[in-house]
Structure 1
Amino acid sequence: MSKKTTYLLWILLVVVIGTILHWYLCCSVCYTDKNCITTTNNEAVTPETKNPTLLPFSIKDDNGSLSFSVNESFNFKKSTFSIHDSISTSINNGIAMIKEYLDTNGNKQINITGYYTNDEVNNSAFPNLGHARANAVKNYMTFKGISSKLINTNGQLYNDLIADNNHILYGPLSFDMITKTQDSSKDEELLKTACDRIKEEPLMLYFKTGQASINLTKQQRQKFADISACVDKLNVKVHVVGHTDNTGTPENNLKLGQERADFVKNYLIHNGILPTNITTISEGQNKPIADNNTDEGRAKNRRIEITIN
């Protein structure tokens, strides 16, 4: 056998071995896997697209005659709790129907559950973004004449929500008409207890010099939700008191305390508490709770107390 022939045979052998290895390592896997999809270099893989979720504005009383549904709802942008766009005539007609039903059925209430997803940022004062959205819709219904005493709000995680290309969520809410029961009375007693606790232990916010934002802890968010519910259900007012340390003159500190109280008032308004339900006052440096001779003590005295009365 000539050297040329031997050389050609070796080339052929390499090609055969390479083909066998390619089949064993690659093609055989796809051949046995029905879910395996292969593409050529000229084929583009089209990503899967999902339609935006649409939860309609729908409410029904299983123990009564109310039944309303329309294929639209209150919409929100991702990571926000302000209602997006204007409210349609159909939804307003539904709210008018709900108001009439509540006016003629004194033992009924509405539960509004707002939904949110894990990838959203909660920039509200509520424990979660869903609760804040439910509260925004509650405020709109109150504006349309439904008593806030008849509306309960809460939030719930719902990761199946899909926004559109403009990051808008369509109707991330559900509505239920319920009948007052003994459990409802228990809930009212629990709320009264929570309101009494707030009077004894106000929500405290501490400020650094020049601070222009408020970041609440988990416990503070829950206390804020309780304050909001106390205002809605018991007709109490929110009282915001500004305090300072003794750095500077008493006159300037009185002004500074008022500025901080007004700043917090605007924050509360942004989170759904009506301006008419908020009063503000400054105590300046007059009511310290710690020693102004230490940095730690002065930090505790630079505070805002939010309570109800």
Structure 2
Amino acid sequence: MTKKLMYLLGIIITILVGTYFFMKCCSCCGLPTSDTNSVSNTNEETKTPVEPEATSYPFSLKGNGFEFSNNDNFNFKTSEFKYQEPLSENVNKGVAALQQYLDKDATNAVTITGFYTDEEENNSAYPNLGIARANAVKNYVVASGVSSSKLNIAGQLMDSMVPKDSIYYGPVAYEPIVAEDNTAEMDALYLKIKANPLVLHFKTGEAAINLTTEQRQKIADISTYLDKVEDAMCTVVGHTDNTGVRANNINLGLNRAEFAKQYLIGNGISSAKINTSSKGPDEPIATNDTEEGKAQNRRTVVTLK
């Protein structure tokens, strides 16, 4: 073998050995290589995430020797507190079963809990959308012949809910409870509402009322009292400043009271439970000599009779 041939052979061997150690070191150090697994992993990472499966809660009532369940329940669009219509026949069967449970024993009562998520916008008059949904269901049950005094409402944050086509299926739960004498509780609630009534400041014709957290709780308290106390009534009184003719201000105050009444009705308080009237400019709470005082006098007061 000639020296030239041995020299070329040595070069080839050196190249092969160098390539081998290069591949070996890259693999050990975790450096990227162009193998088929890397291509496959990249493709997996760029896949579109799988959408979570929509949640659905049944109409279920179980306790005190009573049990009922079916897959249909009240449904709600996202950020809305009015249930979807028409209701299925199975929902009406659930309402009938609820009434059957309440009629079974005088001490039986039910808490209706509405679910909501942090992502939803609360356009109701209640502290959260869950309470507003529970109140809508309660009103339907009451219209079916159940006494509102046997029904409590509550709201529960449920961020695990997943809508389908912007609709939450069955975000309502029904829990059997024992009815208790709540006379003392209602007496205390009455005094609380009368001492610190709900006061609204807005212009006639506005499409919505923007409520604070405190005002939402006041409406919830008023609604609870009207539900629990037989013959309880809510009063809505309109007030104005002294600008213009008194007779016109009396009418203006009444218009504002009627607007507030319609707002309360839209949020589930029975129209039969609301009386409206107007004091016009006759009962100011601040001076009418300044714009700030006049603004305070233009108010609508919601309280209990």
How many residue pairs are counted as aligned between the two chains? 280
Find runs of 4+ consecutive structure 1 residues off by over 2 angstroms.
23-28, 187-192, 207-213
1:191 partnered with 2:190: no
Identity among equivalent pairs (%): 45
Q: Counterparts of 1:27-38 in structure 2 under 5 Å?
A: 37-38=41-42
Residue in 2 aligned with 1:78?
78
CA spacing shift, 1:210–1:86, aligned 2, 3 Å: closer
The offset of 1:77, in angstroms, is 0.2
SS in structure 2 opposite 1:55? coil
* Distance in 2, Cα, partners of 1:115 & 1:278: 28
TM-align CA RMSD: 2.6
Q: Counterparts of 1:107-146 in structure 2 under 5 Å?
A: 107-146=107-146
- Candidates 52, 55, 72, aligned match of 1:53: 55
Q: Counterparts of 1:139-288 in structure 2 under 5 Å?
A: 139-164=139-164, 166-180=165-179, 184-185=180-181, 188-208=183-203, 211-235=206-230, 236-288=232-284
* Distance in 2, Cα, partners of 1:37 & 1:65: 55
CA spacing shift, 1:39–1:249, aligned 2, 3 Å: same
Residue in 1 aligned with 2:287?
291
The offset of 1:39, in angstroms, is 1.2
Residue in 2 aligned with 1:67?
67
Output the amino acid matched with 1:290: A
Output the amino acid matched with 1:52: A
The offset of 1:296, in angstroms, is 1.4
The offset of 1:25, in angstroms, is 5.8
Q: TM-score normalised to the size of structure 2? A: 0.85
**Residues 288 and 294 of structure 2 are in contact (CA less than 8 Å); yes or no, is this contact kept in structure 1?**
yes
Output the amino acid matched with 1:171: G
Q: TM-score normalised to the size of structure 1? A: 0.84
CA spacing shift, 1:103–1:27, aligned 2, 3 Å: farther
Unaligned runs of 5+ in 1: 1-8
CA spacing shift, 1:210–1:100, aligned 2, 3 Å: closer
The offset of 1:210, in angstroms, is 5.9
CA spacing shift, 1:87–1:278, aligned 2, 3 Å: same
The offset of 1:281, in angstroms, is 0.6
CA spacing shift, 1:123–1:95, aligned 2, 3 Å: same
* Distance in 1, Cα, partners of 2:158 & 2:139: 22
1:102 partnered with 2:79: no
The offset of 1:44, in angstroms, is 6.3
CA spacing shift, 1:57–1:37, aligned 2, 3 Å: farther
Q: Describe the superposition over 1:260-309 as per-residue Cα deviations: whole angstroms up to 9, x where unpaired.
A: 11110110000001111111111111111110001111111000000112
The offset of 1:208, in angstroms, is 4.6
